[in-house]
Amino acid sequence: MSVLMTLRVAADATRLESLAKKDPTLIPAVAAKGKKMGASYHRFYATDSEILVVDVWPDEESFHAFFASTPEIPVIMEEAGVTTAPEITMWRKLDLGDDIG
């Protein structure tokens, strides 16, 4: 069964957006690698002080293999001014009959 992965850090979203403009191939290349390694969904979200990554993976192991084998991730995190260790949580879907979309 697939898992929803959230990764939360204290960071500056404007710096991440600036990096995406400065190097428009970096973040899409990481996303493409994730897709190749099993990710079926990926999004970035932000508040004024935090960045949240939301992915769907076939299993927890697939995400950890991707994260450990992608040296660009620490570079992106540094450029975004990340000041906390990533808080990674794996979520399982509950089937309650209330799905929308």
Residue 100 lies in a domain: no
Find the domain containing 66 and state its range.
3-91
Residue 96 lies in a domain: no
pLDDT tens digits for range 8-64: 999 999 999 999 999 999 999 999 999 999 999 999 999 999 999 999 999 999 999
Domains held by the chain: number = 1
The vertex-89 CA angle with 85 and 95, nearest 5°, equals 165
Query: What pLDDT is recorded for position 64?
Result: 99
* Sequence letter at residue 63: F
Phi-psi region of 4 (alpha: psi -120 to 50; beta: other; left: phi over 0): beta
Query: What pLDDT is recorded for position 98?
Result: 97
Residue 39 is part of a domain; what is its CATH number?
A: 3.30.70.100
Query: What is the model's pTM?
Result: 0.94
pLDDT band at 79 (very low <50, low <70, confident <90, very high): very high
Could you tell me if 66 and 34 are in contact, meaning their C-beta atoms sit under 8 angstroms apart? yes
Query: What pLDDT is recorded for position 58?
Result: 98
Q: At what angle do helices 72-79 and 26-36 cross, to 10 degrees?
A: 140
pLDDT higher than threshold 90 for residue 93: yes
pLDDT higher than threshold 90 for residue 1: no
pLDDT band at 2 (very low <50, low <70, confident <90, very high): very high
Which residue shows structure tokens 């990926």?
42
Could you tell me if 10 and 50 are in contact, meaning their C-beta atoms sit under 8 angstroms apart? yes
